[in-house]
Amino acid sequence: GAVVSQHPSWVICKSGTSVKIECRSLDFQATTMFWYRQFPKQSLMLMATSNEGSKATYEQGVEKDKFLINHASLTLSTLTVTSAHPEDSSFYICSPKGQASTWATEAFFGQGTRLTVV
């Protein structure tokens, strides 16, 4: 399967600071990147979708000015949580998709990033 590297795997930050999460697709070109958030004991919730070189599309209720997504290359996308607050503490997961991917192919996910805001 495809190799997806997400970094860091965990991070603790102070309230009011910003945190950047990186997601790399190591062996295929990710024309699209999905970012999910998962709170404890809950399912994954899609936050936003980004296409390489374009602005991200955010799901309803997700603040685009708070969760900055950069998808400047086909192998790297970043999610920056700006001015983090304790309620942003969650597990963030990326999922890159190549142009050839369809529903008849499996999706790949990063290892996830556990963010704790204190």
Neighbours of 109 (CB within 10 A): 17
Toward other proteins, which CB reaches closer, 52 or 110?
Answer: 110
The DSSP output letter for 19 is E
Smallest distance, other proteins to C-beta of residue 83, A: 25
73/103 Cα distance (integer angstroms): 23
Nearer to other proteins, 42 or 83 (CB): 42
3-state secondary structure of 86: helix
Q: For binding to other proteins (CB under 8 A), which residues are involved? A: 1, 4, 6, 32, 34, 36, 43-46, 49, 91, 93-95, 97, 101-104, 106-112, 114
Residue 109 CB, nearest approach to other proteins (Å)? 3
In this complex, which beta carbon is closest to other proteins, that of residue 59 or of residue 63? 59
Among left, alpha and beta (phi > 0; psi -120 to 50; other), residue 49 is beta
